[in-house]
Amino acid sequence: MKTSYILKNGRVIDPSRGIDRKMDIGVREGKIVSPSKIKDADVIDLKGLVVAPGFIDMHVHLRQPGKTDSETVRTGTRAAAAGGFTKVVAMPNTSPPTDNPGTIELVKRIAKDEAVVKVLLCGCISKNQEGKEMTGIGSLKKAGVVALTDDGKCVQNHELMRHVLEYSKSFGLPILDHCEDEKLGSGGMMHEGTWSVLLGLRGIPAASEEIVVARDIILAEMIDWKIHFQHISTSGSVRMIKDARKRGVKVTAEVTPHHIALTDEEIKHFDTNYKMNPPLRSEEHRRSLIEGLKDGTITVIATDHAPHTETEKLVEFDYAPFGIVGLETAVPVCMTELYHKKHLTLSKLISKFTVGPAEILGLKTGLAEGSVADITIIDPSLKHKIDASSFFTKSRNTPFDGCEVRGKAMATIVAGNIVYSCIAGIPGIVAHR
């Protein structure tokens, strides 16, 4: 591996420092240095490409331990590298779930041996994700988790959620919440609206998300601590979060690429690759999510990468599991839908993958001298077709297969190591397909 090199002629965009200009960056022994300090270094010409701080995906299901037929730490982190992500935050709904230090240690050891990008871990809010009893938050903090979540499930007990928030505050751990009232959403297959009526499928109303968002805002204000809303999908959620943030309540939110690119009309094909939770909503909700990104209400884009085997998805719509893969499609889909359609500047879009998640998780980001050389290199204009058959993830459950997109992650650098590259003449650990 190259230990010293210069990234030359790239357009450097570092939202953490307000930088957007052509400049060279030196990398030596895993750190960013001035190019003048590197003698006889290899030069990598990045003319026409964008150099950004390493992208962070704070919502990823790596499935290991447990469902290794659909994903592993090895395949999932290779997919992350190919997608331009230098860090991923692994969700705890594995088998067994990461609700104790022993399972956390197991995943850390697997990641140390198999991962090509940095894997950060979440601990469960409740034991076995049952929503009945709080986990040992102090022991999870000591084991190294960066946040707490029961993602995939939502704590319905308000008193328990209050106590979790109080304890998480004392240990400095943010709460990441999948907001869903289980009674309102029970048995739902898609968004409750015109298309659910036309298709005869039981709907999941927007209110099932919004009721819990309202609950969490009240608790966050009461305890004065951080709650991050995962994969929000409704205009009502955006409205409430915007109001809460104006009042100084410590809440943040993420949106997924599929919720800003697709609507519930797609379900008319009964393709299970369009089935996810929260479901694809109506055009009105989709536009509200984009407005939330534009005005700063939503500070994070995360994939909710949820791999499932072909066998699991090749069933009737009612019986298929929720979720799609997203690590390798996030950058091209967001570049196409948000940058090229002029909703966000390139700097603002990059901030949703860098500054936004870093601030929530207490991580460092940016390309200042002395920083760890975690770098994402993008071609913002490259036109190509998404090809699921070339994915590094074990699973292929994506609605974007065959879509024409514009923009691509060209290389991913982790601590100075080029782990993925599709730039001619620049090899990476993960070979480009």
Of the pLDDT bands very low, low, confident and very high (cuts 50, 70, 90), residue 194 is very high
Tell me if the domain spanning 55-361 has CATH number 3.20.20.140.
yes
State the catalytic residue, choosing from 57, 216, 304, 374. 304
Of the pLDDT bands very low, low, confident and very high (cuts 50, 70, 90), residue 56 is very high
Overall average pLDDT of the 427-432 stretch: 83
d(CA 397, CA 63): 15
Closest of 253, 391, 368 to residue 18, by C-alpha: 368
Overall average pLDDT of the 204-224 stretch: 98
User: Residue 427 has what pLDDT?
Assistant: 86
Overall average pLDDT of the 289-315 stretch: 98
Write the pLDDT tens digit of every residue in 347-369.
Answer: 999 999 999 999 999 999 999 99
Of the pLDDT bands very low, low, confident and very high (cuts 50, 70, 90), residue 7 is very high
Fold classification of 4-51+370-431 is: Urease, subunit C; domain 1 (2.30.40)
- What integer best gives the mean pLDDT of the chain? 96
User: Residue 93 has what pLDDT?
Assistant: 95
- Has residue 178 got a pLDDT over 70? yes
In order, the DSSP letters of 32-87 are EE-GGG-SS-EEEE-TT-EEEEPEEEEEE---TTT-TTT--HHHHHHHHHHHTEEE
Overall average pLDDT of the 26-42 stretch: 92
SS3 content of the chain, % helix, strand, coil (to 5): 35, 25, 40
Concerning whether 304 is annotated as a catalytic residue, the answer is: yes
Domain boundary assignment for the chain: 4-51+370-431, 55-361
Write the pLDDT tens digit of every residue in 227-237.
Answer: 999 999 999 99
Q: What is the reported pTM?
A: 0.97
Tokens coding 413: 């650098």
User: Residue 425 has what pLDDT?
Assistant: 84
Q: What distance separates the 2 farthest-apart alpha carbons in the chain?
A: 68
Token look-up 């968004």 returns 191
Share of the chain above pLDDT 90, in %: 96
Overall average pLDDT of the 332-361 stretch: 98
d(CA 22, CA 12): 6
Write a three-state SS string for 271-305. CHHHCCCCCCCCHHHHHHHHHHHHCCCCCEECCCE
User: Residue 1 has what pLDDT?
Assistant: 53
Closest of 43, 86, 58, 16 to residue 367, by C-alpha: 16
d(CA 256, CA 182): 21
- Has residue 280 got a pLDDT over 80? yes
What 8-state DSSP symbol labels residue 172?
T
Of the pLDDT bands very low, low, confident and very high (cuts 50, 70, 90), residue 168 is very high
Share of the chain above pLDDT 70, in %: 99
What are the C-alpha distances in Å from 190 to residues 179, 194, 231, 283? Answer: 16, 11, 15, 14
Residues comprising the chain, all counted: 433
Overall average pLDDT of the 144-173 stretch: 97
User: Residue 2 has what pLDDT?
Assistant: 64
